[in-house]
Amino acid sequence: MKTSNNWNFLALKSKTVALFKQGLTPIQLTQSILVSALISIIPILGVSTFLLTVLSIKRKLNLPIMIAISYILWPIQLLMIIPFINIGEFIFSIPQSNHSAQEIIASFKESFFGTLSHLSFELLCGFGGWLLTAVPFFTLVYLVSNFLISKFSPSKTP
């Protein structure tokens, strides 16, 4: 009986690992991880899964890894909503709003489209803050990681 359970666990583990690998090169794996991390912290709740799915299909990236990272980064997304809004308001020279993260989350739970219309300006500032801070940061991380992968990956020629 114990051997059967062990075999089931090993079979499940090998299938899960195969699902996450999906024949990706190290650069494609890096793209999957970084794109999902970038999109997962976008300050508009409820759009990251759709965007990740579209990007993974279009760029042939690993969707299971991207969705897993999105779930892992959910708390970071919640923590970064207000700072991204504040950065956007500062960049666009707009008086700071006094919305809390709990208020925004409760509003999204009540009505997604109602929140988009009620807090559209704040969310636009948050999107601007995300665009002007997170995108350059992740671009830099992507370039450095590609350099390191190309430098330290085993060469194909002897």
Side chain identity, residue 68:
A
Half-sphere exposure in the Cβ direction for 52 (13 Å, CA): 26
Return the pLDDT at 2: 52
Q: What is the pLDDT of residue 155?
A: 57
Residue listed under structure tokens 């350099």: 147
- Domains in the chain: boundaries: 29-151
pLDDT of residue 158: 44
pLDDT for the residue 75: 93
Average pLDDT for runs of 10 along the chain of length 158 = 64 71 76 92 90 90 89 92 90 81 80 79 90 94 90 64
Burial status of residue 66 (CB atoms within 10 A of its CB: 0-12, 13-18, 19 or more): buried
Torsion of the alpha carbons at 120, 122, 127 and 130, rounded to the nearest 10: -170
What pLDDT does 69 receive?
93
Q: What is the pLDDT of residue 113?
A: 81
Predicted pLDDT at 151: 85
**Residues contacting residue 114 through CB under 8 Å, at least 6 positions apart:** 107
